[in-house]
Amino acid sequence: MKEAAITVVYPDVDTFDDHAEAVLAMLPGTRSFPGCIQAHAGINRERCEIAIFHLWESPDHLNRYLDWRAERGDLDARSATMRREQDFRTYSVP
């Protein structure tokens, strides 16, 4: 079964542009990661929010991707400039 992941991040206002740039720069790596079907980001400058949408072939593919990002330090680097903790949710897609 496919797995969808939706993340909303809340960067600090003064680091929003850098954060948005970094998220957009990560998308090609996400899209080329084994098992990724789609990956997109939405940016709302008024609310200083970035939404990231991923669709994966399976939960295992998503978990391997998240492990890879964590090992590289990508997730910690982004967390350092957030005004509050991100919202992260996954959904099974029949």
For residue 64, the domain's CATH number is: 3.30.70.100
Task: Please give the pLDDT value at position 80.
Answer: 74
Q: How many domains does the chain have?
A: 1
Query: Is residue 27 very low, low, confident or very high in pLDDT (cuts 50, 70, 90)?
Result: very high
Task: Please give the pLDDT value at position 31.
Answer: 98
Q: For residues 81 and 19, what is the distance between their CA atoms, to the nearest angstrom?
A: 8
Helices (H), 1-94: 16-31, 59-72, 74-79
Task: Please give the pLDDT value at position 81.
Answer: 77
CB 55 within 8 A of CB 62: no
Q: For the segment 41-90, what is each residue's pLDDT rounded down to a tens digit? A: 999 999 999 999 999 999 999 999 999 999 998 777 667 778 888 899 99
Task: Please give the pLDDT value at position 92.
Answer: 97
Range of the domain at 45: 2-93
CB 75 within 8 A of CB 9: no
pLDDT higher than threshold 90 for residue 37: yes
